[in-house]
């Protein structure tokens, strides 16, 4: 039986987050005459955390559903609740630690590795991380997935068979710089039975991502930049040569407002190209955070050997009282050539507000509209509509602490 010592911390908390959305053209343009759908999704979590001077343990039970998706008389066979995180961290010394288990991976601005917190289910990995904390921080992550104990095949459900990454970070009061190398191994059928077509041997093809994330400040202007290069092979065996570059600047306007602008390039492949893959894949990042809230790009779509993206945007916020008003406008174009079309994809306008009631209840709501151009309809494979593409949403978040002992 575990004895809770004088330095132990125990916390039990919860989260309940319902969100209602009106969708007419999210992720891809609405078809002509398509009616708007209204759905409500909900995330429910129970968080258990323990920490003392030797180790820490975190467990997150999670249930994600659409209202009406489960029968009112639900049984255990529906498997609606599962473990989103279950990890333990061993503090081997003041500088070294080992964290292993199912856990979220969040680094820098979430571009390559992120929690995907907007999605109700979020993202977690089965991984072991060796950590060093000193004049700089270093994390070495290792993951290897198998489907069963009888062979060395991994058949899904998604992501990688093997993954390794090294993250180095140095931070001061005015500057933070990181270097990330990620080796992402996708499985493929290396040898198949000529008679049945069944896989006999499975191989791994690795794509490699190397780059840097930098945050700095010049006077009152906050600057954030990324530069990543991808190489290696994709799952289909094509050589990869792809680039991600971004720069973001944000300047306060007094205590209650700010204005900013930025640019991001995710390189793409010409539609006429069949031999090489020049498409940058942001892999396991929180992609909803970037390139517009309507998720036309890199949120379960626009992958493979897509034409990539140029995103020029302006943004701002103002908080005259308890409500924070936010706005962003994105001007999208393709990086690769699109057959029979110009590169212009469209303009998206995002408006959203946030209100916190006594720091215990969070209310968020927003509206977005995509002014799509012909090339966007073409790459999405949808006939041009006269309806328009828009999305509205409202979300409530409750995060109570049920028990805490320090």
pLDDT at 2: 44
Residue 6: band (very low, low, confident or very high) from pLDDT cuts 50, 70, 90: low
Mean predicted lDDT score pLDDT of the chain? 93
Q: Please state, as a whole number, how many other Cβ atoms lie within 10 Å of the Cβ of residue 4.
A: 11
Strand-strand pairing, 37-51 and 239-252? unpaired
Which pLDDT tens digit goes with each residue over 291-332? 999 999 999 888 777 999 999 999 999 999 999 999 999 999
Which tokens sit at 393? 């949403």
| Pairing verdict, β 162-171 and 199-218 | unpaired
397 domain residue, yes or no: yes
Task: Evaluate whether 262 touches 249 at the Cβ level (below 8 Å).
Answer: yes
In a domain, 1, yes or no: no
**Residue 392: which pLDDT band, with cuts at 50, 70 and 90?**
very high
CA 221 to chain centre: 26
Q: How many CA atoms lie within 13 A of 120 on its CB side?
A: 21
Residue 362 CB-half CA count within 13 A:
14
Indicate whether 2 belongs to any domain.
no
pLDDT for 3 beyond 50? no
Residue matched to tokens 């929180």: 286
Whether residue 251 lies inside any domain: the answer is yes
pLDDT at 340: 82
Residue with tokens 């406008």: 329
CB 40 within 8 A of CB 395: no
Residue 38 lies in a domain: yes
Whole-number pLDDT of residue 35 = 86
**Residue 99 maps to which CATH number?**
2.40.160.100
The total number of structural domains in the chain stands at 1
Is it the case that residue 76 has pLDDT exceeding 60? yes
| pTM confidence score | 0.93
190 has a pLDDT exceeding 90: no
Instruction: Give dist(CA 99, CA 87) in Å, integer.
Output: 7
What residues make up the domain containing 252?
9-405
Task: Give residue 40's pLDDT.
Answer: 98
Determine the average pLDDT of the residues in 242-252.
98
Q: Does position 152 have pLDDT exceeding 90, yes or no?
A: no
- Whole-number pLDDT of residue 110: 98
Calpha distance 222→114 (Å, rounded): 21
How many Å apart are CA 362 and CA 236, to the nearest integer? 44
Give 85-122 pLDDT, tens digit per residue. Answer: 999 999 999 999 999 999 999 999 999 999 999 999 99
């Amino acid at each position: 039986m575990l004895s809770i010592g004088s330095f132990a911390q125990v916390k039990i908390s919860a989260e309940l987050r319902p969100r209602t959305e009106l969708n007419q053209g999210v992720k891809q343009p609405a078809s002509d005459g398509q009616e708007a759908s209204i759905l409500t999704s909900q995330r429910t979590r129970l968080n258990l955390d323990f920490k003392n001077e030797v180790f820490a343990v975190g467990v997150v039970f999670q249930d994600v559903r659409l209202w009406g998706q489960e029968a009112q008389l639900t049984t255990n066979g529906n498997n609606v609740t599962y473990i989103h995180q279950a990890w333990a961290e061993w503090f081997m010394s003041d500088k070294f630690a080992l964290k292993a288990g199912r856990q979220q991976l969040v680094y820098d601005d979430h571009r390559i590795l992120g929690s995907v917190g907007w999605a109700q289910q979020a993202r977690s990995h089965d991984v072991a991380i060796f950590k060093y904390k000193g004049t700089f921080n270093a994390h070495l992550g290792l993951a290897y997935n198998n489907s069963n104990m009888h062979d060395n095949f991994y058949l899904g459900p998604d992501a990688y068979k093997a993954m390794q990454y090294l993250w180095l970070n140095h931070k001061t009061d005015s500057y933070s710089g990181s270097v990330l190398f990620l080796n992402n191994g996708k499985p493929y059928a290396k040898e198949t039975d000529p008679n049945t077509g069944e896989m006999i041997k499975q191989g791994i093809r690795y794509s490699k991502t190397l780059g840097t994330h930098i945050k700095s400040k010049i006077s009152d202007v906050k600057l954030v930049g990324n530069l990543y290069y991808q190489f290696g092979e994709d799952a289909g065996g094509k050589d990869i040569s792809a680039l991600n570059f971004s720069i973001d600047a944000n300047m306060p306007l007094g205590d209650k407002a700010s204005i900013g602008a930025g640019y991001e390039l995710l390189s793409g492949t010409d539609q006429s190209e069949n031999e090489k893959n020049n498409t940058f894949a942001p892999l396991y990042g929180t992609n909803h955070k970037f390139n517009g809230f309507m998720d036309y790009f890199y949120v379960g779509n626009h992958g493979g050997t897509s034409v990539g993206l140029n995103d020029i945007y302006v943004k701002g916020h103002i908080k005259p009282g308890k409500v924070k008003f936010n706005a962003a406008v994105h001007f999208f174009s393709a990086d690769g050539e699109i057959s029979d079309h110009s590169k212009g994809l469209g303009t998206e306008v995002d408006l959203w507000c946030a209100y916190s009631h006594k720091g215990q209840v969070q209310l968020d709501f927003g509206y977005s509209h995509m002014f799509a151009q012909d090339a966007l309809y073409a790459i999405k494979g949808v006939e041009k509509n006269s309806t328009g593409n828009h999305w509205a949403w409202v979300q409530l978040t409750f995060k109570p602490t049920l028990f805490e002992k320090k």
